[in-house]
Structure 1
Amino acid sequence: MPADDSSAVTDFYDRLAARYDLLATAPVVRGWRELAADALELESGDTVVEMGCGTGANLPYLRERVGSEGRVVGIDLTSGMLAQARHRVERAGWTNVDLVRGDATRPPIERADAVLGSFVVGLLDDPGAAVDRWLDRLTPGGRVAILEAGRSDRLVAAPLNLAFRVFVRFSSPGGWTRVDSPAKELDRRIAAARAALNDRTVDRRDETAALGLVQVVSGTYPPDNPSTA
């Protein structure tokens, strides 16, 4: 992501952090987060990293699955979002959840059993390269999952697609004002992330919700193809 776009994104989400958390924890959204956490097939004692953890809305679901013996790491570039996430961790009293200010395109981690990207690849200038770096940090046999919202290809979802295009247009960071169709650009970035995941994983799972507007794609990093990072 170019520096000016990165700055626009962080400034945008810094301003919206508190209000964003209300949307991120809405009842219908919780079901999507459960779907993504399940796709990682986590076990007790695992280490799971979330790229672009935002206000920490996924943290309860990830920690529940790795247990008190596991470790959850949330990475985000936006200080306002991380402040909300820290409040969530402190209120819950979790001692095995760490929050790190960092860039999802250059993850400040060495190894993890699972990686989750939640509503983040659409913000990245080169999401395919970012997903490649996530996979490089997975232990062999680990899983990666991407949770995103994009336009549905189902006819019944046509009215929702229209509403979604309007939502994306008016809720996109300032750097996206140069894009003719933010919804199409979002679709392109999601497709690039999915392609990178498909190229390098096995045992892939592709699930949808909200008439296809919400997508969870996941895969396993092959045990016989160890990371090189």
Structure 2
Amino acid sequence: MRPRPAVTSRSHNRPDGGVATTQDFYSRWARLYDTIARRSPGVQSLRERAADRLAPPAGGVVVDMGCGTGANLPFLSGQVGPEGRVLGVDFTPGVLAVARDRLSTLPDTGPGAPVGVVRGDATRPPVRDADAVFASFVSGMLADPADAVDHWADVVGPGGRLGLLDLARSTHPLGRPLNGLFRAVVRGTSPPGTRSRVSTSPAALLDRRVVAAHRALFDRCVDVEHETHALGYARLTAGTVADS
């Protein structure tokens, strides 16, 4: 158990695409994104299930990579308990402002653990060690998601917990007919400019990145649990980092 996350002063690297454009896009729409992240049908139960599957140790330290507006923080806090610590990392000022507002509604003691957020690059976070790392709906935004997952596994080390929750096109018989709509949503919600910088469709790129991230988790972890939800669109994977 680690009483607090060890935070470094490392500046964040440039994420995929234009960092200023991406930050401006997500900052401008932070409140709407927060509503979608918390109010979409079934999303709260999905976040709660993901936190359960991550299963960080009571009293441990969890880092939420690409935490956005902090929708996962209450669920992760409930997992580690009042003696634990939850830290959210994100590189976009606007969404972190919403996340900080959310922190004011969470107790510092009692049933919830102390929580905080910090600005940083999730691919090379300003955190040296933790007991668990979680990332939701982040893999598809990273230029090299497998490398990021590999780094997160190094952060928690052998015995640490690693979890991913992502969206991608469905292979489920009931979900496949809706893939066209899903592609349109992915394209429409991509930051301006990013769509013109890729040679394939944003949905196809998202698929490849999500597969790469979850495969990297399988490569680094044991006791891996993998689930699909929401007609096959949601992919949830969690495991324990193996000895090197």
Shorter-chain TM-score: what band?
over 0.9
Equivalent residue, structure 2, for 1:14 = 27
5+ residue gaps in structure 1?
none
Residue correspondence of structure 1 range 35-74 to structure 2 within 5 A: 35-74=49-88
Matched residue SS, 1:188: helix
Q: For 1:5 and 1:20, how far apart are their aligned partners in 2? A: 20
Shift of 1:34: 1.1
Letter in 1 for 2:38: T
8 Å contact kept, 2:48–2:75: yes
8 Å contact kept, 2:142–2:209: yes
Letter in 2 for 1:39: R
Deviates more, 1:90-99 or 1:25-34: 90-99
Deviates more, 1:185-194 or 1:153-162: 153-162
Cα deviation digits, residues 195-214 of structure 1 (max 9, x gap): 21111111111011101100
Shift of 1:2: 5.3
8 Å contact kept, 2:16–2:143: no
Letter in 2 for 1:135: A
CA-atom RMSD in angstroms = 1.5
8 Å contact kept, 2:16–2:141: no
Letter in 1 for 2:27: D
Q: Which runs of 4+ in 1 moved over 4 A?
A: 1-4
TM-score (norm 2): 0.87
Equivalent residue, structure 2, for 1:131 = 149
Q: For 2:168 and 2:221, how far apart are their aligned partners in 1? A: 22
Shift of 1:160: 2.1
Equivalent residue, structure 2, for 1:25 = 38
Greater per-residue helix proportion: 1
Shift of 1:161: 1.3
Q: For 1:94 and 1:86, how far apart are their aligned partners in 2? A: 13
Shift of 1:133: 0.8
Q: For 1:54 and 1:182, how far apart are their aligned partners in 2? A: 20
The answer to whether structure 1 residue 221 and structure 2 residue 241 are counterparts is yes
Count of residue pairs brought into register by the alignment: 224
Shift of 1:3: 6.5
Equivalent residue, structure 1, for 2:6 = none
Equivalent residue, structure 2, for 1:110 = 128
Percent of paired sites with the same residue: 51
